[in-house]
Amino acid sequence: MLTISKQSSVIGRRLSALQLTSLMLVWRPLQKGKFPNYIVVVVVVVVVVVVVADVVVVVIVLVVSGVVVLGVVVAAAAAVVVVVVVVVVVVVVVVVVVVVVGVVVVVVGVAVLVVVVVVV
């Protein structure tokens, strides 16, 4: 029983350390209004890995099935589709962020105008 409780406390400490690390790496910069650059790097690396894996898998499957030329064409098309989807998602996210920031600016501006009118 003692070893189980010790293991549980060690696991609890590891989770707490993991939570603390994520708090320090992600949430603190976001609270200060900064977007951590390493998140962008991780997203770009994941996208590149997904595109490369997609191309490799499609080429392997089609080469094994004996359709080499068609395999290259399909792999290239699949890679283009993945890149287009990623670009569209990024553009949508940027547009949403711009719209949200714009709404916040308008709301804050109206609030400031109301305060100025009430005070004056």
Are residues 39 and 28 part of one domain?
no
| Separation of alpha carbons 61 and 95, rounded Å | 38
Same domain, 47 and 21: no
Total structural domains within the chain: 2
Residues 50 and 91 in one domain: yes
Encode pLDDT of 15-52 as tens digits: 556 556 665 666 666 666 666 666 667 777 777 777 77
Range of the domain at 6: 1-34
Note the pLDDT tens digit of each residue in 54-100. 777 776 766 666 656 666 667 777 777 777 778 778 877 877 777 77
pLDDT at position 31:
66
63 with 18, same domain: the answer is no
Q: Are residues 27 and 61 in the same domain?
A: no
**Are 58 and 98 in the same domain?**
yes
Look at residues 95, 56, 48 and name the one whose alpha carbon lies nearest to residue 76.
Answer: 56
